[in-house]
Amino acid sequence: MWLYEKKLEHPVRVSCPDVKFAKMVITQYGGPDGELGASLRYLNQRYSMPTDTAKALLTDIGTEELAHMEMIAALVYKLTECADCEDFKEAGWEGQYVQHNHGLFWTDANGVPWSAKYIACLGDPIADLTENMAAEQKARVTYEHLIQCTDDPCVKDTLRFLWQREVVHFQRFGEMLNTVQMYMADKQHMWHGHKMK
């Protein structure tokens, strides 16, 4: 179904481990505006899109979000590499160590597990594409907050790459929203689900 290159979309490096910052970054793994929710949202919404182009866009961005989740996982792993129980306790993240050690789990920065309530699919292309644009903006802001919270230039490089992709996704969804609105108005004589007279 896909050709999978066994390398990350963008290199993930850290200058030194930082468990405290890893605790913050984990929110982009399984938090409300993270990569898991984005991927599942887009891959699910594609089925109710009215055009093949819209379906393809959601498939492309949804699979790219999986690659971003992979990058976040690599970043958290590198930030916690060789950390022991005391390091996790010092970072206030001992629950992670006790339950998962260095394994990852989909949570936000406060340890709240990922929930399906983070994603939406209304089956209305206009509502769903608008939702996606908002989701990309929330992810963009979260990356901006993370960039402000680290001094590590290697980590900043990774986070900036992910930030840039959120901006591009927002733009692509905006373009597709315009296209889908025109399609629904012109081809189906529909606007927001109602017949036009």
- Does 194 show up as a binding residue in the annotation? no
Helices (H), 16-124: 19-25, 27-30, 35-45, 52-79, 85-90, 94-100
Contacts of 104 (CB under 8 A, 6+ apart): 26, 29, 73, 76, 77
The CA-based dihedral angle spanning residues 13, 14, 15, 21, taken in that order and rounded to the nearest 10 degrees: 160
Q: Does the annotation list 10 as a binding residue?
A: no
Distance CA 22, CA 91 (A): 9
Check: CB of residue 143 under 8 Å from CB of residue 166: yes
The reply to whether 65 sits in an annotated binding site is: yes
Rounded-to-integer distance, Cα 17 and Cα 130, Å:
38
Which burial class, exposed, middle or buried, applies to 192 when counting CB atoms under 10 A from its CB (0-12, 13-18, 19+)? exposed
Q: Is 136 annotated for ligand binding?
A: yes
Sign of the four-CA dihedral 17, 19, 24, 25: positive
Binding-site entries: 35, 60, 65, 68, 136, 169
Binding-site entries for Mn(2+): 35, 65, 68, 136, 169
Binding-site entries for Ca(2+): 60
